[in-house]
Structure 1
Amino acid sequence: MGALVGGLFAAGRVEEVPAQPPALSSIRATDVAQRAIDLTRQHLAAHPPDLVIEVPQNICGTMDFPRTTPIIEQGQALTARALDALPDRALDALPD
């Protein structure tokens, strides 16, 4: 740690530490996510669904496998709320 501090604060002044460019994998992940969002919007515009259940994006991460039970329970609660909000005539039109 002493060598690092000595290098950063040489001769009593703070040296500039170059900023790291974003990792290529991060750029790719962002690009893929944005493309998925765009394709979903286009598909929904062309083929409007009977029911949309909006799930917050921060409900889980890519590697949240140990949290599957609470995530599924949240999805079930969101689905129940969305179905309860539908008028009765709309429920009759849904397939079994």
Structure 2
Amino acid sequence: MAVDWVRAQMRRDPAVQGGFFSGSTVALPDEAVLSASSDVDVLLVRDEPGVKLGKFRHRGVLLEVVPANPMPAVGRPRAPLPQPKPVIRWTPERSTRL
């Protein structure tokens, strides 16, 4: 659900470059069930500074969306990393369960 919301923002706002999960849900197993009061933290990556959108429900999931650093500080999607670092791989199937 969070992925759908970010994709919709990317279509509406050209400054939005993407988003990523943060917080406690990142380490949860695929089969974890969130309580109704649990939120999914999303960092929204933008070309320019943005405002904190806060908590809201999207398709039944409580999202908390905050802006990440502007793209120059985070890095362009095609820019090579100086030293690759391991990341948790999120598949669309896993993401849509949250």
TM-score, length of structure 1 as denominator length: 0.21
* Bigger proportion of residues as strand: 2
- Relative contact order (C-alpha < 8 Å, sep 6+): which is higher? 2
* Bigger proportion of residues as helix: 1
Say which one has the larger Rg. 1
TM-score, length of structure 2 as denominator length: 0.21
